[in-house]
Homo-oligomer: A and B are copies of this chain.
Amino acid sequence: MAKNLTKRSEDYSKWYNELVVKADLAENSGVRGSMVIKPYGFAIWEKMQAELDRMFKATGHVNAYFPLFIPKSFFSKEASHVEGFAKECAVVTHYRLKNAEDGSGVVVDEKAKLEEELIVRPTSETIIWDTYRNWIQSYRDLPILVNQWANVVRWEMRTRLFLRTAEFLWQEGHTAHATREEAEAETHQMLDVYADFAQNFMAIPVIKGAKTENERFAGALETLCIEALMQDGKALQAGTSHFLGQNFAKAFDVKFATKEGQEEYVWASSWGVSTRLMGALVMTHSDDNGLVLPPKLAPFQVVIVPIYRGEEELEKISQKAKEIKQSLEKAGITVKYDDRDTHKPGWKFNEYELKGVPVRIAIGPKDLEKGTVEVARRDTLEKQFVPSDETLAQNIKKLLNDIQVNLFEKARQFRDENTCKVDSWDEFKEVLEGKGGFILAHWDGTNETENKIKEETKATIRCIPFDAKEEEGKCVYTGKPSSRRVLFAKAY
């Protein structure tokens, strides 16, 4: 194969970087740390957006849009939030350029200095709660269930396409409630939506749990998350949902009159997933031949490639190919027919394998005679000849479903094989240095121990899994008593 793609076993990180570019998902731009999401990559992100948006609306949420810029002073209003977010950020200080006096181009006009600097939003809790103050007077105004699709900026020093970029795209839900219970229920509901989406749409198995205090969102009382395992044994946080208590309501003075006429602060949640999911998608399913896409996210699920010599043959094959395309589309399948004469079939096979198209159909002159087509599935690379008659559409539909299920099962099997219970510090380090993966171990519950483990091994507590059983144990690092195992891993 002429893909020149580094093998995962050689250098996983290099494989990822190359694949994202070669498969036309994204590339670095002329702006440090900012990526260009290319049309093929963006088409996948659009499918994610459409499904998530549908799920948000089905759970009663509506979309809105809040400003990109946040006055600097807003960040100082919530003490832990400013520490977490206002430090590494893009700061707008001026609002005008002028021609340089020496004719060398344009320069900042020092006369156009802003009285108060504006921060390009790293997340929107502050500007949104500043707005909610005017939206909420009484219990009748609650709950507010709002989501925003937006770009955000966090000034990252080391960036990687999709996984960590200065600017990224995301959605951020921001809800306001009359009671603590309702806000907590919302926080859990949205985590369930994320888990459902990751597993049933992206075919990525995830573990649901709560973050430790160390790893919580700046300003949250509790951060819930879904954690996935990549093929190199490192974890990736795929979504978070925060219970914010009354912190932002207090910081921005958002009170409401209860049914009983009391005045109380409003309860809040926020939750988000980002283009980082694109990275998770690539790193979960793809292989040394290129991208592998779950059918539910593929920009097109089937590609048809004609094998021919001369225009006459192409014409006959095209007629059949177009018939097939129509019948598949009628069955709700998205299809591309690639009859370009600028590229050979072998080149096209290679290209669509690299781009992870779930199913490839090839039709040659012999197929026309026999009434068959060659069907190749991307996940297993298996090929077989099947009748090109009226049964084809249903067969392909079933095959796409099988691929979707197979990808999830394969990823789950990998995850399970790479999750182990560990009861000693030596074993902990051994596993981590060896195959990596998820480690379920006892921990004494202190920030101090968590930090020491991180310093010594780079492993962090990914979450306290919801399904962790109560069991007596001893902290793997200090030997102090523990009542449940938590999930450790090195992480992206």
Q: Which residues of A contact B (CB under 8 A)?
A: 27, 29-31, 34-39, 42-43, 45-46, 62-76, 82, 86-98, 105-106, 108, 117-120, 127, 130-131, 134, 140, 146, 150-151, 153, 155, 167, 169, 342
A465 to chain B, nearest CB (A): 34
Given contacts A67-B167, A69-B34, contact A96 B155 (CB under 8 A): yes
Contact A151–B68 (Cβ < 8 Å): yes
A355 to chain B, nearest CB (A): 14
Q: Which 6 pairs of residues, A with B, have the shortest CB-CB distance?
A: A34-B67, A39-B62, A37-B65, A76-B105, A91-B94, A95-B155
6 contacts between A and B (CB under 8 A): A31-B69, A34-B67, A42-B64, A88-B95, A89-B96, A93-B94
A380 to chain B, nearest CB (A): 29
Given contacts A73-B105, A105-B73, A120-B120, contact A65 B96 (CB under 8 A): no
A173 to chain B, nearest CB (A): 13
Contact A95–B106 (Cβ < 8 Å): no
Closest residue of chain B to A83 (Cβ to Cβ) is: B99
Given contacts A42-B64, A118-B90, contact A31 B71 (CB under 8 A): yes
Contact B43–A62 (Cβ < 8 Å): yes
A80 to chain B, nearest CB (A): 13
Closest residue of chain B to A24 (Cβ to Cβ) is: B135
A113 to chain B, nearest CB (A): 10
Contact B66–A36 (Cβ < 8 Å): yes
Closest residue of chain B to A70 (Cβ to Cβ) is: B31
Contact B30–A127 (Cβ < 8 Å): yes
A241 to chain B, nearest CB (A): 20
Closest residue of chain B to A91 (Cβ to Cβ) is: B94
Given contacts A93-B93, A94-B91, A95-B88, contact A46 B63 (CB under 8 A): yes
Contacts of A82 in B (CB 8 A): 106
Contact B91–A108 (Cβ < 8 Å): yes
Contact A30–B130 (Cβ < 8 Å): yes
Contact A31–B127 (Cβ < 8 Å): yes
CA distance A92 to B37 in the complex (A): 22
Contacts of A37 in B (CB 8 A): 64-65
Contact B31–A118 (Cβ < 8 Å): yes
A142 to chain B, nearest CB (A): 12
Contacts of A92 in B (CB 8 A): 90-93, 120
CA distance A146 to B41 in the complex (A): 13
| Max count, chain B CB within 10 A of own CB: residue among A64, A88, A151 | A64
Closest residue of chain B to A126 (Cβ to Cβ) is: B30
A106 to chain B, nearest CB (A): 5
Given contacts A31-B67, A68-B153, A91-B108, 4 further A-B contacts (CB under 8 A): A31-B69, A31-B70, A87-B97, A92-B92
